[in-house]
Amino acid sequence: MKFIKKPKNIFLLDGFGALLTTLLLFFVLRTFNDFFGLSKSILGYLAALALVFSIYSIFCYFLVSDNWKSFLKIICAANIFYCFLTIGILVFNYHNISIFGIAYFLGEIAVIVGIVFLEIKMIREK
């Protein structure tokens, strides 16, 4: 947990997590979209959104030194938005999505919620 002790490192964790999400959505889930049950376009949009979040977080890691809490609040809100968006997509596409798709997205949401809790903890502590 020493990694998380430095406030800027949460941006790096968030950025690489969002990059991993981008790669999984775009290259794995889109390739096997019939297996997971969502269209390539939906997966592409989610991947693009995750890429934007990744770029934002990585830029914050390198460029933000003062007032980092404001920037962390933005990515925290964006992560919460992404979770609600994903839940909405699951509900709207419940008739098409497979159990594997549901498992993937619920797992992704669980990881993001864990990161959001870390972000909120850092905002309150420092």
Contacts of 76 (CB under 8 A, 6+ apart): 116, 119, 120, 123
Q: How far apart are CA 32 and CA 19, in angstroms?
A: 19
* pLDDT for residue 71: 96
Domain boundaries, the chain: 2-125
* pLDDT above 70 for 50: yes
**pLDDT category, 126, cuts 50, 70, 90?**
low
Q: What is the pTM for the complete model shown? A: 0.93
* pLDDT above 70 for 121: yes
Task: Please answer whether residues 60 and 111 qualify as being in contact, where contact means their C-beta atoms are separated by less than 8 angstroms.
Answer: no
- Using one digit for the tens of pLDDT, what is the confidence trace for 66-119? 889 999 999 999 999 999 999 999 999 999 999 999 999 999 999 999 999 999
pLDDT above 90 covers a percentage of the chain that reads 89
* pLDDT above 90 for 5: no
Q: Per-residue pLDDT averaged across 13-42, rounded?
A: 96
Q: How far apart are CA 33 and CA 17, in angstroms?
A: 21
* Bigger pLDDT: 1 vs 21: 21
Burial class (CB in 10 A: 0-12, 13-18, 19+), 19: middle
Residue carrying structure tokens 């938005």: 81
Q: Per-residue pLDDT averaged across 18-28, rounded?
A: 98
**Alpha helix (H) ranges present in the chain?**
2-5, 9-23, 33-36, 40-63, 68-92, 99-125
* Bigger pLDDT: 86 vs 6: 86
* pLDDT for residue 35: 95
